[in-house]
Chains A and B, each alone.
Chain A
């Protein structure tokens, strides 16, 4: 694609976000509603970049306690062990089940971090009006959006373990504060991915005026 590619916005048209019907807006400031599905028409998602930035920053902040604080407190015969995510990975690796350690490492540490980096990259590139690698960036966005739903795996495992292992006098498992932050990271990155308007990737720097 070349930088001179025509976008709907540049042609004075707006596409419905719900059913993708291309329509002529009522007026530039207020594009009106979609004739087919009745959805509200917008040139670009309102404050998309700012929203996404805010959520990404929030997720990045939460990512630190999610990894520092313990996610699981295991009490076995009176002695309590607290495990962080990385601690769990190390434990799994040390006990010989390195494939499992790898799965946990990818799903719980690398994926959230990767999402944050990917979103930041998309935001920076859009803000700078970059027109390079538009296809790859769109693909990256799709990947981030797709992977979001699988990131809660860790939280699910944690909650299941807590619910199932309650052998009160012998052993009990309690969730740690870390799992809350971890869930926050996942949810925030999912919302961030959702609030990012991928159409911005295709707009050049001139289109900035639509996004305020």
Chain B
């Protein structure tokens, strides 16, 4: 069987013991450890944000490893190193920024040290008292990345996220304003001054202000801004009025804005529009007078106390103002007179008319010189309109120009010859009073004081003579009247003596009679005595009898008491009982 032999030649299979896996499961542990450790390392590396350098002038309170960088109060990084710059003039701070904030680190990002700040308008950064200073961060608008920054010296006031708009105010000087000065709208704080700078010509100051939303929409081209610093005290007929925006503005200064009612209200102003900063509210809110007419007045009196800006009144109400005061030479009379140039705002005359008439009238005033001249001529020639200087204040001596009707004033005409009309004037009442006073003084001066003196002396001499006469009369009385008086007195004494003698006799007889009456009374009394007290007087006898009776009664009473003492039982048993 070739088949069998063939089978026998086939090699026999061997049993190989099953080999256990050489690698144990325990290696999972180091692999796991490695994975976790690697995972942490990778996460660390991936979360590693950019490292930036910030250059500070002074890095106050900045410490490596401790100081953090905060944006919107969230930590976005940490300072890793603080060192001096190569030239030792600045401080270079190295910071590690979180990966999540890496996108914020752009070219125009801002960094500054946040430290506690106490200003008049508020306290900020109080939290840093406990946590230490930190570095504030403000994101920029650029998209270009940057790794080296120069820090701001002071924290920016307005953060980019704050809604609102920025405007520019032009002021002649900074006044008490500064960065952070409040801006008020209807006494609500609506914004702040964020920067100021001298203009390039050096003649004014540009103030950059930021008005927060929603107040920024009340800022329009017609809005007026004024300096609200300090107190605005005005004393008027209505009493004392004190205006201030707020206590803070009073101390730290401030700006207020409002839109006057007459201003048109178009769309809110665009950002960075420029306005003028007015000195105060009254000036800011003054209605602009679009039509103004100039006139000249010549006064032949003192203009002391009249200055440019003094009001011009018509019937006591403001109608314009003085623009120029000066001396003028009059070629006709070779005299010097005061020249006052005024400007009048005819619009004010028609301000109370209804809108349509107002527009029409305004048109007439503006366009038609003829109409204006005719109106003025009528006023001056028919009604007697004249200018007069009046005293605004007796204390300060300020003058103003008043227009009033003086129908009695001599007729005159408006002088249209020059390019500015000359209006007629009347002398002021102030000078009238002065003149009258002077007249009085002059009259007093003319009085004949010497004659009056001489007359007075004469009168006095007469008086002296009269007095001497009087003295003589008195002397005469002394010598003539006194002796007579003496005799009269003696006669009177005699008369009194007679009266005395007569009276004495009468009195004596009366006394005798009285004595007799008394003796009688005595006798009566004596007899009475005898009746009552005499030995045999009946009263006496009866009294004696009565006493005898009493004695007897006493005796029998004694007998009774003796008996009772010896026989007390007799009180019960009686006398009979005692015997038994």
Contact = CB atoms under 8 A, between A and B. Distances in A.
A79 B66 contact: yes
Nearest to A169: B130
Contacts of B32: 58
B29 A54 contact: yes
A51 B65 CA distance: 42
Nearest to B35: A61
Contacts of A65: 37, 40-41
Given A58-B29, A58-B30, A188-B29, A79 B37 contact: no
A181 to B, nearest CB: 7
Contacts of B24: 47, 50-51, 54
Given A50-B24, A62-B37, A65-B37, A55 B30 contact: yes
What is the interface residue range for chain B against chain A?
A: 20 to 34
B131 interface: yes
Interface in B120-155: 127, 130-132
Interface in B476-532: none
A77 B40 contact: no
B91 to A, nearest CB: 20
Contacts of B127: 78
B131 A55 contact: no
B26 A184 contact: no
A177 interface: yes
A104 to B, nearest CB: 20
Interface string A197-211: 000000000000000
Contact of B130 (A61, A62, A78, A184): A78
Q: Chain A contact residues: over half helix, strand or loop, or mixed? A: helix
B130 A77 contact: yes
Number of chain A interface residues as a range: 20 to 34
Given A61-B37, A62-B37, A65-B37, A79 B30 contact: no
A193 to B, nearest CB: 14
Given A54-B24, A77-B131, A79-B132, A184 B33 contact: yes
A64 interface: yes
Interface string B384-422: 000000000000000000000000000000000000000
Contacts of A50: 23-24, 26-27
A188 B27 CA distance: 12
A61 B40 contact: no
Interface in A133-163: none
B20 interface: yes
Given A55-B30, A212-B22, 10 more contacts: A50-B24, A58-B29, A61-B34, A65-B41, A77-B130, A78-B130, A78-B131, A79-B132, A81-B65, A184-B33
Interface of A: 47, 50-51, 54-55, 57-59, 61-62, 64-65, 69, 77-79, 81, 177, 181, 184, 188, 212
Interface of B: 20, 22-24, 26-27, 29-30, 32-34, 37, 40-41, 65-66, 68, 127, 130-132
22 contacts: A50-B23, A50-B24, A51-B26, A57-B30, A57-B33, A58-B29, A58-B32, A58-B33, A61-B33, A61-B34, A61-B37, A65-B37, A69-B40, A77-B131, A78-B130, A78-B131, A79-B66, A79-B131, A79-B132, A81-B65, A81-B66, A212-B20
